[in-house]
């Protein structure tokens, strides 16, 4: 059975999916047609119901509850791994609110966190995450919201951190920050959903046990070609939560949605967040 699978070219995703898409682990008869794209585009594709399985921001998930459901394996959660708001120099909250501020997509969890920390920002524009540093450097934007490997490179370019939005979340709620997860179609048979979940977990576990195995695939697609930066990226975003959300991971995601719905940031829904297999 062949399924469409969407994920980003970032090192954490290529690390996770290498084994399963290249048949290095038992995929239980599943094959995957890979559609690789930036997280902004993946989120937009989900609104159009384009893919069978996809990496999505948790913020985006709130808008596609009817079509997709969260799997237990493959998620990016953790401590000290949140998005950063950066600028050329330290600037005031008033200047930040005036903008313009570059964001890596309206449906990213990064944008959701920015709304929590700076609800007064009105002038925002979505760019590809890889374009944001340069857009701030050339003063097209007063500030920029960076994700992925850019958090390891902004200082080398002379940019400064205004706020770590992951730390903001952690201090406010004492929970790991849920950034993105892996989702499949909600209307899949439960047996198929559970099979996909098992295969993804097997792929993550293989990568942890054989860290050199996905190296060529990671290098082929990484925006930042320095292997040290690639490894920092993987270490930051792939962890025990990527194997199994567990109670702590599920609690963090549940709180994110409860809080976002209470603040009217995302739509209400009576559908379950998690597939029953992960409960």
Q: Which of 148, 233, 255, 275 is catalytic?
A: 148
CB proximity list for 200: less than 8 A, separation 6 or greater: 16, 17, 20, 71, 73, 74, 182
Q: How far apart are CA 76 and CA 147, in angstroms?
A: 12
Structure tokens at 55: 């990496």
> Hey, what are 60's tokens?
């985006």
Q: Where do the H-state alpha helices sit in the chain?
A: 11-21, 39-47, 58-61, 93-98, 109-117, 132-137, 165-173, 190-209, 215-221, 227-237, 240-243, 246-262
Identify whether 148 is a catalytic site residue: yes
CA separation, residue 131 to residues 61, 125, 150 (Å): 24, 12, 10
Name the residues annotated as catalytic.
Answer: 148
């Amino acid at each position: 059975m062949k399924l469409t699978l969407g994920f980003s070219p970032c090192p954490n995703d290529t690390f996770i999916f290498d084994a399963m898409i290249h048949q290095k682990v038992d995929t239980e008869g599943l094959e995957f047609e890979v559609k690789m794209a930036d997280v902004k585009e993946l989120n937009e594709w989900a609104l159009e119901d384009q893919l069978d399985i996809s990496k999505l921001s948790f913020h985006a998930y709130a808008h596609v509850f009817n079509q997709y459901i969260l799997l237990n394996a493959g998620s990016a959660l953790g401590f000290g791994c949140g998005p950063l708001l950066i600028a050329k120099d330290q600037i005031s909250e008033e200047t930040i609110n005036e903008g313009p501020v570059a964001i890596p997509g309206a449906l990213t969890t990064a944008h959701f966190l920015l709304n929590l920390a700076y609800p007064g920002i009105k002038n925002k524009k979505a760019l590809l995450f890889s374009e944001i540093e340069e857009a701030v450097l050339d003063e097209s934007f007063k500030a920029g919201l960076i994700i992925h490997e850019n958090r390891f490179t902004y200082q080398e370019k002379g940019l400064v951190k205004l706020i770590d939005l992951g730390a903001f979340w952690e201090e406010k709620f004492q929970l790991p920050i849920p950034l993105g997860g892996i989702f499949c179609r909600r209307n899949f048979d439960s047996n198929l959903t559970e099979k996909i979940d098992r295969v993804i977990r097997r792929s993550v576990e293989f990568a942890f046990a054989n860290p050199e195995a996905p190296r060529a695939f990671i290098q082929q697609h990484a925006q930042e070609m320095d292997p040290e930066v690639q490894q920092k990226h993987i270490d930051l975003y792939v962890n025990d939560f990527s194997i199994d959300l567990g109670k702590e991971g599920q609690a963090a995601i549940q709180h994110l949605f409860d809080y976002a719905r209470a603040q009217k940031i995302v739509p209400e829904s009576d559908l379950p967040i998690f597939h029953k297999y992960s409960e």
